[in-house]
Each structure stands twice: as C-alpha cells, then as structure tokens.
Amino acid sequence: MKEKIHPTYFPKAKVACSCGNTFTVGATLELIETEVCSACHPFYTKKDRSTDQVGQIQKFKARLLKAKKKA
C-alpha cells in the first residue's frame, strides 16, 4: 500500500446543522456543515419544514384534493 495518499481521519468530527443541532461522527473532514439533519428533516419530524415552499405545497395539496374528488 502506498504511503501518504490517504486523507486524515478525524474520529470525532463535528457536524453542525443549520437548525442548531450538533453531533460527532468519524469523517475525513474536521467540521461538516449541513442544512438538514435528523432533528429537522421533515421525514423524521413529520412536519412541513420550509416556509418558502409553501406555495408549491399548497398547489400540490390542491391538486391531490381535486384528484380525490374526481375519483
């Protein structure tokens, strides 16, 4: 195996989410910044996340309701 070709491994790398949640993982980067984590992701929280997408969500829900009424 060649020497000095592998990146440095940080066993306690810090992950910081835009929601304020932080946790540690093993990674090749010392600090990882992310926009979505398990504390704020809609799949895990079962809540709508973004207010800037409200228009798209409302349009989708209206189309879904309209399709249900036709059936």
Straight-line distance from the first to the last Cα atom of the chain, in angstroms, rounded to the nearest whole number: 64
**Where do the domains of the chain lie?**
10-70
pLDDT at residue 6 tops 60: yes
Give me the pLDDT at residue 1, please.
Answer: 74
Considering the segment(s) 10-70 as one domain, its CATH architecture is Irregular (4.10)
Q: Are strands 31-34 and 22-27 parallel, antiparallel or unpaired?
A: unpaired
Global confidence as pTM: 0.57
Structure tokens at 15: 């992950």
- Strands, sheet with 10-17, edge to edge from the N-terminal-most edge strand: 22-27, 10-17, 31-34
For 36-62, the pLDDT digits (tens) are 888 888 787 877 655 555 677 788 888
